[in-house]
Amino acid sequence: MMFADRTPRPLPDTEPLIGTAEAAEALVDEVIGALGELEAVIREETRLVRSGLLFAAAEMEAEKTRTSGAYMRLRARVKANSVALGRLCAPRVEDLRRHHQDFTTLLRENLAVLAIAREVSEDLVRTVSEAVGKRTAPRTYGRDAASAVPALSGARGIAVDRRL
């Protein structure tokens, strides 16, 4: 038989479901704390990008990854315990929803700032590329003894780092 030689895989480690109001409130507090840390990182990144300090903003990537990962793990725990949280600490769940709405607004602002910075950077690189391309274009005369108009192609060899 085809499935007889398969060994069963162990289930991933999961935390037990919440059963007390204290545990429910502790989880909500932990999520709000993690969300606060992530908000601080996002605010700082937004400030740096607005100030034009793109390299400093890029250096925050590790911290942003760490805090967002912690938040996402806690969010998965909240999802697994959503029924218990609603029963055991409904007012704190409403607090968490408000924090999450504020975070969503902050994240939209951050994404808009990053999009604008990216657009400006791409426009700048495109302009430089076209200027360099014009200088390197051959200067010849056409059949009617007029200067040939070079095609508007950018310079070759310009690389763009799109990590931001």
The answer to whether position 151 is within a domain reads no
The answer to whether position 27 is within a domain reads yes
The answer to whether position 30 is within a domain reads yes
The answer to whether position 158 is within a domain reads no
* Closest by Cα among 65, 17, 14 to 37: 65
- For range 141-157, the mean pLDDT: 59
The answer to whether position 67 is within a domain reads yes
pTM for the model stands at 0.69
- Which range of residues forms the domain containing residue 78? 21-136
How many other CB atoms are found less than 10 A from the CB of residue 46? 19
The answer to whether position 149 is within a domain reads no
Q: If you write DSSP's letter for every residue of 65-133 in order, what string do you get?
A: HHHHHHHHHHHHHHHHTHHHHHHH-HHHHHHHHHHHHHHHHHHHHHHHHHHHHHHHHHHHHHHHHHHHH
Total domain count for the chain?
Answer: 1
- Per-residue pLDDT tens digits for 45-97: 999 999 989 899 999 999 999 999 999 999 999 999 999 999 999 999 999 99
The answer to whether position 155 is within a domain reads no
Is the CB of residue 84 less than 8 Å from the CB of residue 17? yes
Give yes or no for residue 159 having a pLDDT over 60. yes
The answer to whether position 11 is within a domain reads no
